[in-house]
Amino acid sequence: MTENDSTKQLPPGTAAGQPESGKLSDPERWVEEHGDFLFKYALVRLRDAARAEDLVQETFLAALKGGKSFAGRSAEKTWLIGIMKNKIADHFRKASRETSFTDMAFYADQENDQFVADGHSQGHWLMESAPSDWSFEPGANLDSVAFWKAFRECAGKLPKNINAAFCLREIDEIETKEVCRILNISENNLWVMLHRARMALRKCLEINWFEKNA
């Protein structure tokens, strides 16, 4: 910690290997103070502990290269979360490119399987898949540890690309246009993915939570 010269700030992503120890807070302290928070943040969205650990490391590495220092701990945390958000967006963008068409086909089938395929009542709910009466007391469900376990398990079954859309829209509550920009997909495509995510999640929770606890 010999100097703290703001003129030495470097744009993110440059200058690997330059001596920059002077203007940084101690990375060890970062890991202690912010590591757990960033890990949980990534884990909620990725549901993959190994990938979440990787992203925590990538976030700190990018922060090192970005090389800023902050007066307060909360400003530092906000800055690190910003970097983490970009890392997660990159991860989601990749996931939405990589997911196979069989995943999409699976969800199309799942949707079609819930409705009458043809004839007089085409497009109506099939008897066995019509939404059942959850007759819940919403407060009671949301306080139950077991409910959240079922929720995570059901959400964990979504294919990666659909999970990406669902997380950005429903967990981070980002506007649809911005989600489309992040994932580089059309709005129409996003609406379909969200529709299928909700439909699959609803069905899974109905079977694995509401019918078991009726």
Q: How far is the CB of 187 from other proteins (least distance, A)?
A: 7
Q: Which residue, 103 or 206, has its beta carbon nearer to other proteins?
A: 206
- Helices vs strands, H then E, count in the chain: 9, 0
Residues in the chain: 214
Q: How far is the CB of 151 from other proteins (least distance, A)?
A: 6
> Are 69 and 24 contacting, i.e. CB atoms less than 8 angstroms apart?
yes
Q: How far is the CB of 3 from other proteins (least distance, A)?
A: 15
What is the 3-state secondary structure of 159-207?
CHHHHHHHHHHHHCCCCHHHHHHHHCCCHHHHHHHHHHHHHHHHHHHHH
Q: How far is the CB of 192 from other proteins (least distance, A)?
A: 8
Q: How far is the CB of 37 from other proteins (least distance, A)?
A: 10
Measuring CA to CA, which residue among 142, 185, 148, 168 is closest to residue 46? 168
Q: Which residue, 104 or 199, has its beta carbon nearer to other proteins?
A: 199
- φ, ψ for residue 213 (rounded to 5)? -110, 15
Q: Which residue, 106 or 136, has its beta carbon nearer to other proteins?
A: 136
Q: Count the alpha carbons within 13 Å of 91 in the hemisphere toward its beta carbon.
A: 24
Under the rule (CB under 8 A), what is the footprint of other proteins? Answer: 16, 20-21, 24, 27-28, 30-32, 35-36, 39-40, 43-44, 53, 56-57, 60-61, 64, 111, 114-115, 122-125, 130-134, 136, 138, 141-142, 145, 148, 151-152, 155, 166, 169-171, 173, 176, 187, 190-191, 194-195, 198-199, 201-202, 205-206
Q: Which residue, 100 or 148, has its beta carbon nearer to other proteins?
A: 148
Q: Which residue, 98 or 135, has its beta carbon nearer to other proteins?
A: 135
Note every long-range contact of 10-13, with CB atoms under 8 Å and residues 24 or more positions apart, other chains counting: 10/65, 10/66, 10/67, 11/66, 12/62, 12/65, 12/66, 12/83, 13/62, 13/65, 13/66
Q: How far is the CB of 71 from other proteins (least distance, A)?
A: 21
Q: Which residue, 100 or 132, has its beta carbon nearer to other proteins?
A: 132
Q: Which two tokens stand for residue 84?
A: 């983490």
